[in-house]
Structure formats: structure tokens, C-alpha cells
Amino acid sequence: MHRVQLDNREFEGANAVYLLGAGDDGPTTLVDTATAQPVVRTALADELAAVGVSVADIDQVLLTHFHGDHAGGAGAVQAASDAVVRVHEADAPLVTRDPTALAEYEDRHAALFDRWGMPESAAAELRASLADDALWSDSDADVEPFTDGERFAVGDRTVEVWHLPGHTVGQCGFVLDDGDERALFSGDALLPKYTPNVGGADVRDEDALQNYLDALVRIVEGGFDVAYPGHREPIEEPAERARHILDHHRERTGRVVDVLAEHGPADAWTVSAHLFGDLAGIHILHGPGEAYAHLEHLRTADHVAVSDSEYELLDGEPDVDALFPQLGGIH
């Protein structure tokens, strides 16, 4: 396995792309591609060449999810190599840039911006940011969708698909167990420094936080020796990192409760302002999206009610711990 670090100026840090199976009889495989920006494409080609592989040698691309910093270069790699590009069926239409899927996604954004209480000035700034499609290749990728549990050869070994939704509906990891090391290529389901955004990162998911909690529990119980994330460095204790993120979300839900208790009924934009302050760029999406995911988690448990987009606390001291899995290391 060869890890390639590629430029990403977003807060998550440098993208990590993984080369598997080079020199084996089975398919030479990339896990993710990063963006299609010229500087990134050049850097990827140079990094592959340093280990004796060209982009044209790639037989297969396995995508963890649809975001442009992970899947944006897939079309360019496929055009250069005729590689098979695979992604979870839920994210496939957004990777292929299907016009209907993109339009529905934009409509969903508009509906939620209104529901969250996002000011029009902030929505306009965010739309301008999201309209920049420079992350994506001019050549749309043709994809072969997969589902949880499918297996694919990577060189002389095999990976198993693990569906780990929450960050996106189709977010997946790839499990590689060669007997000596049990590894998870985790995409953005598990990151070493930041907690992956839920609620704003994929607005299609109506139950993003619960789905992500379930994914984290699956990782904790997966028995992994190491995780290779979509950004930054490998994670040497994946279960511990997943426990830490679970605890982070429990604490954040507690903070949301505190906001409602102190300030009264509020929409997601107002709660976000109390949690995160002023926002710019992509954070205009991620902040209220995260607040919304936690508010909806509380609503589903009947701890808050919503009216005209404002959430009201029904119980002055809800049992937040009861909303989260009780695993070792979790309060």
C-alpha cells in the first residue's frame, strides 16, 4: 500500500489517496482520487510515478463518498486509464453528476436553508461558494454502484465494503484484512483531527446523527489495528478515535440543550450561532447543518418540539446520555 498526500486547503487537511495492488496480478487500485484541479492531478501523477505506476495503469477506483475532494478526479483518472470506478449506490448519481440528482440536491439545499432560518445574505454567499465546480473533472465518470458487504479484488488481496453513513448517505469504508493487520480505509467516516460534519455535508440524510452514531459503533466493534482516513495521517487506534467522536457528539447535544434552556425556542441558524459564532465559506453550511442534526436527534427522542422552524425544549433536563451508545470510554 502506498499513501499519497494531495493538496486540500479546506480545514480537514491534505487529502489521502491510497494505491493498492501495484505490481500484483490483480487490479491496481486507487482508493479515492482527490480533486481534478490541475495541481492535484499533476501531484498525483508524480507520486504514482515515484513508485513505478502511471495513471494509465490504474484498473480500478474505489470511492469512499461523493464529495469533490474525494471523487472529483475520478472522471479524469478513468479517461486516462479506462479504470472501473465504483461507489456506493446512494452516492453514485452525484459522482456521475446526473443533472436530475444535482437539481434535487440543490432544491434540498434551498428548502433546508429556509427551514434552518439562514439569512438570505449568508445563503447567497454559500451558493456562490458551492457553485465552484473546479473540483470536478470535465469528464464525468461512469460508475458501477456497490452496496454494503460486497468484496473487490485489490491486487492479490480483497477488500470488503462497509457502509458507514452519516457524513454522506453513501459514505463507505473498505476493510482489508491480510492476517497481519486489519485495516479500514475510512474516507471521512473517521478522521484523525476533526470530527466529520453531519447534517450539512449531505443534506439528503434526515437522520444523519443517528446514522453516524451507528457507523461509529460499527467501527469501535470492528477490531481494526489501523484506519487510513481520507485526510491527514493514519489513525493508530481507530476504536479509541471513534469513541472520542461519539463522546464529542454527546457533549455537543448537551450544549444544544443548554442553548435552548438559556435562550428559549430557536431555529438551527440561531443555535449554530451560539455554538460556533460567525461563519464563512463552507462553514455556513456545516454549522447550521450540524445544529440541525442534533436538534432533530433531540426531536426524535421527544425532548424538543418544533414549530415554525423553532425548536422548544420540552424537558428542562433531558437525559442526553440515553441518546448515545454506552460503550467503553463513553460517559
**Distances in whole angstroms, Cα of residue 96 to Cα of each of 73, 80, 99, 248, 319:** 11, 17, 9, 34, 43
pLDDT tens for each residue of 182-240: 999 999 999 998 899 999 999 999 999 999 999 999 999 999 999 999 998 999 999 99
For residue 21, with 0-12 CB atoms within 10 Å meaning exposed, 13-18 middle and 19 or more buried, which class applies?
A: buried
* CATH number of 243-323, picked from 3.30.420.40, 3.40.718.10, 1.10.10.10, 3.90.1170.50: 1.10.10.10
d(C-alpha 292, C-alpha 21), whole Å: 41
Say which CATH topology domain 2-98+132-236 has: Metallo-beta-lactamase; Chain A (3.60.15)
Read off the pLDDT band of 128 (50, 70, 90). confident
Question: Could you read off the pLDDT of 296-323 as tens digits, one per residue?
Answer: 999 999 999 999 999 999 977 889 999 9
Cell of 166: 452519516
Q: Where are the domains of the chain?
A: 2-98+132-236, 243-323
Instruction: Kindly report, residue by residue over 259-282, the tens digit of the pLDDT.
Output: 999 999 999 999 999 999 999 888
Encode pLDDT of 141-187 as tens digits.
999 999 999 999 999 999 999 999 999 999 999 999 988 899 999 99
Whether pLDDT at 329 is above 50: no
The arithmetic mean of pLDDT across residues 69-76, rounded, is 95
Band of residue 330 on the pLDDT scale cut at 50, 70, 90: very low
**Residue 14 banded pLDDT, cuts 50, 70, 90:** confident
pLDDT of residue 280: 86
High-pLDDT (> 90) share of the chain, %: 84
Evaluate whether 173 touches 186 at the Cβ level (below 8 Å): yes
Q: Is the pLDDT of residue 20 over 70?
A: yes
pLDDT average, residue stretch 63-73: 95
Look at residue 7 in the predicted model and tell me its pLDDT.
76
CA distances to 45, 107, 108, 109, 330 from 114, rounded to whole Å, are 43, 11, 10, 9, 35
Mean pLDDT across 28-54: 94
For residue 32, give the amino acid letter: D
Beta 2-6 vs 15-20: how paired, if at all? antiparallel
Nearest partner of 118 among 325, 309, 323, judged by Cα: 309
Per-residue pLDDT, 178: 86
Q: What is the pLDDT of residue 9?
A: 60
CA distance 198 to 208: 6
pTM above 0.85, yes or no: yes
Q: What is the pLDDT of residue 331?
A: 38
So what's the pLDDT on residue 11?
Answer: 54
Domain 2-98+132-236 matches domain 243-323 at the CATH topology level? no
Residue pointed to by grid coordinates 425548536: 311
